[in-house]
């Protein structure tokens, strides 16, 4: 089944974003797509960004999330926009 063409002025199709916070381990996990992560790197202490086979950001894990700086929302927005 083919998809209709998207006009240049139309907003990009939304992507499924899922998040999970584990209270036991204090880890926040956010997935931007269903693709399997094949690589990851630490972008700042306790922040790991996962990439799919195409090199696109697939998700992020934040360790010790409850003690993350208040600017965490700005950082997450920047990563979501880059994804």
In whole numbers, what is the pLDDT of the chain averaged over residues? 80
Give mean pLDDT, residues 23-50.
91
Which pLDDT does position 16 carry in this prediction?
A: 77
Which pLDDT does position 51 carry in this prediction?
A: 93
User: Do strands 39-44 and 27-31 pair parallel, antiparallel, or not at all (unpaired)?
Assistant: unpaired
- So where are the chain's domains? 18-82
CA–CA distances in Å: residue 32 to residues 9, 11, 17: 23, 17, 5
pTM of the model: 0.64
């Amino acid at each position: 089944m083919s998809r209709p063409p998207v006009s240049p002025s139309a907003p990009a199709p939304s992507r499924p974003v899922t998040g999970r916070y584990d209270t036991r381990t204090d880890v926040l996990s956010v997935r931007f797509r269903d693709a399997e992560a094949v690589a990851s790197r630490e972008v700042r202490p306790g922040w790991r960004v996962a990439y799919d086979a195409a090199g696109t950001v697939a998700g992020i894990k934040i360790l010790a999330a409850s003690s993350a700086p208040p600017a965490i929302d700005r950082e997450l927005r920047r990563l979501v926009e880059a994804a």
